[in-house]
Amino acid sequence: MCKCKNTILITDDSAMDLDTISHILQADYTVYTATDGPTCLEIARTKVPDLILLDIVMPGMCGFETINALKENTLTADIPVIFITALTQAEDEEKGFTMGAADYISKPFSSAVVKLRVRNQIQIVNQIRQIHRNSITDELTGIGNRRYFYDQLEQEWARAVRNQKPLSFMMVDIDDFKSYNDTYGHLQGDRALRSVAQSIKASLARATDKCARWGGEEFATILPETDLVGARGVAERIRSNIENLALPLPDGTSTHVSVSMGINTVIPGTNDEYPLNKFVSDTDNALYYAKTSGRNRACAFTDVPAKKQNESRGEK
């Protein structure tokens, strides 16, 4: 689990207040500082902190204008903001909450109040983040689930359309997994799924490459800006690593599994002539061809004979 500190951006035109608050928080958080609204917006866009402490009364761009700009930007809209202010009128506080402030810290402030209000917001941020992680993580294998994968695939598809770069997609299926479960039991089958998932993840060389459990004994991998030659190389590394993976059994021995893989690579156009759902179904078709032509191999969609390119596992 990551032990990284949460990040906080403090924006205040008073150097003394900025230094004081930074000193209060820097032992527990990674702290960024800004002395005006425009700088706050720039740091918020580039660093995307977990929480922003924002002075209301600043020359030029005030805190109300700054929070409005933060909420209008999709990158920063969800960052909670705590106003730091000497304003005492109820209508000022009401205005801040109406604009989306999460809390207020009044000047002059005490260290204890600053720490408590910041801690409360950071706890909420971390809880929401954990809920989101749980919703996109496959409980058994610890890698992404199908929902996570579709989100990533849609993002990379859109990026490939914009940049006109190749996008490769691979589907991985454990061969004869029903027989494996029948022979060794479902508990051992679950252990095998976890081992295969981690082997696939470890076989990916770049942080931009993503893998997830597609469902059952199937997995999927996205390789952005990767042509077919590169995708075949990654596929062979995954296939070989899994083939050589020793899966321990309760009696002290070990066994092995193999996988079949379908690969598809395109540079998607902007006119929807080849939509994303066709990209996925063609990859599945390539996997089906790999399974029916001998297993323990990777086949690209371009390897599939033309007369078989419209077949699918559901039609056989």
Active site amino acids? 217
Residue 34 backbone class (left: φ over 0; alpha: ψ -120 to 50; beta: rest): beta
298 contact partners, CB below 8 Å, separation of at least 6: 170, 232, 235, 236, 239, 260, 261, 262, 263, 290
